[in-house]
Structure 1
Amino acid sequence: MQQKKLSGVLFGVLIVLLVLYTAVAYNSLVAKEEKMEQMWAEVQNTYQRRLDLTPNLVNTVKGISGFEQETLTKIAEARSKALSVSVTEINADTYKQQTQVQDELAMYTNRLIATVERYPVLKGTDAYRGLQTQLEGNERRIKVARADFNAAVADYNQAVRSFPKNIVAKIFGFKEKQGFQADAGADKNVEIKF
C-alpha cells in the first residue's frame, strides 16, 4: 500500500516536472522566435532608411543640368519596386524577394554616385558629402542587420531542432526558419562606394 502511494507521488512529481519543462521550453522558443522577428524588423528598418535617403540623393543630383536622366529614372523605378514589396512573414521566398529589390536599388544608387564623380561641383557640396556618408553608413548597417538576423535564425533553429526541445517545438508548431542566403554571384559587392 505504501509502495503504491510512493509510486503515485513519484508519478505526480514526474508529471509536474514534465509540465514545467514544457512551459520553460515553450517560453524559450517564443523568446527566440521574438528575437528573430526583432532582428528581421531591424533589417526592414535599415532598408527603409535606404529608401528614405535615396530621394534626397536624387534631388541633390537633379540640380545639375544635363545629368543623365536614365540613371535617375532607374533609381526611381528601383525605389518604387522596393517600396512595393511588403514582407509580413519571415520565410525564404519573402526574404529573397526583399533582398533582390533592395540590392537593385543599391546597385543603381552606386551607379549614380559613380556618375557624379564626373561633376566636381556637385561632389564638393556639403549636401552631397553628407548624403554619401549617410548612404555608406546605411550599407554597413544593412550588413550588420543581416548578420544579426542570421545569428537569431541560427539560434532559433538550433533550439527547434535540439532534443528534447524539438518535441515541444513540434507539439506547438515551431518550425525551422531560413535566414539570409546570398544568391549566386552575390560575391560581387553592390555596396555603395565613395
Structure 2
Amino acid sequence: MRRLLACLVVGLIGISPALAFDAGTEDVLDRMKVGKLVPITEIATLMRNAERWCYIEQEGSCSWSDIYLEVTDEGATYEIGNAWDADYDVIFTDHGTFEENRYICETGYDWVPTLRAINRADGTAVNGRPLWSLKTEIGEGRSEGIDCYDYILKGSDTAAETITLLQRQFTDGVTDPTNDVTVTLHFNADTAAALTWYY
C-alpha cells in the first residue's frame, strides 16, 4: 500500500502545473483588479520580476521594449530597445523616478551617450563613424519634454507567463488617449529573449 501511495504522489508531482509567476508577482495580481490603476509600488515589483516589457506586441515582435536593470524605492534604470529605421536597431539606458505612488517620470537624463546600435540585416554591432553619425542624428531629434506614465491592469495569462497593462502618458499633467499603448510583460526568460523589434 505504501508503495502504491508513493507512486501516486510521484505521478501527481509529475502532472501538477508549475507556478507561472513568482510569489511577488502573484501577490500583485491578487491585490489588483482588471481595469484599475496599479500603484507604482506594485509596478516596481513587476519591473523587478519581468524579463522584458514589450510595447504594442505583434506576433512576437515589439514596437519597443524595456528591460529593467535596477529598481529602487525611488525609481528605475532601464534599457530601451527599438528599431530606429529599416537598417538599425538601437539600445540605450534611461532613468525614471517614481512620483505620487502613481507615475514613473522621465528625468531629462541624456541617454544618447549610452546608445548602441545593431545592423538589422545581420545582427552585427555598429561602431566608429556610422555609430557617431547615428548618435548625432538621434541626439538632434531628441525631445526635451518630460513625460510621466501610469498603468492600468488589462489582464494576465498564467500559461503564457504574461501580464498586460495599458500605459498612459502624461505631459505637464495632461494625458491624451491617443498616446495610450498596450504593454505585455514577459516573465518567461526564453520567450522574452526571442522577442524582436519591428519597424
Task: Please indicate, yes or no, whether the TM-score normalized by the shorter chain is above 0.5.
Answer: no
Q: Give the TM-score range, shorter chain.
A: under 0.3
In proportion to residue count, which structure has more helix?
Answer: 1
In proportion to residue count, which structure has more strand?
Answer: 2
Question: Larger radius of gyration, structure 1 or 2?
Answer: 1
Return the TM-score normalized by structure 1.
0.27
Where relative contact order (Cα < 8 A, 6+ residues apart) is larger, the structure is: 1
